[in-house]
Amino acid sequence: MTVRTSAGTTLKVSASSPATFDPTGYNALTMTVVGEVSDLGEFGREFNLVTFNPVGSRGVVKKKGSFNQGTMTIQMGLDTDDTGQILLKSASMSDADHSFLVTTQNGDKYYFQAQVMSFKVNVGSVDQITTATVTLELTTNSAGVGIVEVLAP
């Protein structure tokens, strides 16, 4: 495997939840492409640090505690006619989880559920494209399934 650019990566969204939190369940959903995305940010599981300080050894014991699937900050050129952007804006007013799919240029796929926490417009200056920033909080279902990764062969 070699490193590659992010060019060609796509983001899709669905207002529906999968019947099963696996590739089969997510593939059964109708997903809508989000247009004009310029930066998808980062995502991935991060654990909280749990420490214990036994007086007998004086050494700090460190363990993994609960985990969080992460926050994605998505940058895009604002297109008020784009169906995917319209769905994201609507999702920002909803308490429901939405389904997402990130597909990289080599075909790796990352499925996940998220809450759309914000949809902010940035008009900016005369020499700037009008943009929008969307914040996603990735969630975990009750069985502990968060990001479902399917790597291309």
What class does CATH assign to 10-150?
few secondary structures
Render 31-81 in DSSP notation, one character per residue: -EEPPSEEE------EEEEEEE--TTT-PPEEEEEEEE--EEEEEEE--TT
CA 39 to mean position of chain CA atoms: 12
Domain ranges in the chain are 10-150
User: Which of the residue ranges 45-49, 116-120, 140-144, 146-150 would you say has the lowest mean pLDDT?
Assistant: 140-144
Angle at 115 between CA 72 and CA 8, to 5 degrees: 40
Residue 106 per-residue DSSP state = T
Residue 8 per-residue DSSP state = T
Confidence band, pLDDT 50/70/90 cuts, at residue 143: confident
**Structure tokens belonging to residue 77:** 């050129």
> What would you report as the CA-atom Rg of the chain, rounded to the nearest whole angstrom?
18
Instruction: State pTM to two decimals.
Output: 0.92
Q: Give the per-residue pLDDT at 142.
A: 83
CB atoms within 10 A of CB 83: 13
CB within 8 Å of 120: residues ≥ 6 apart: 132, 133, 134
pLDDT digits (tens, 9 = 90+) for 54-101: 999 999 999 999 999 999 999 999 999 999 999 999 999 999 999 999
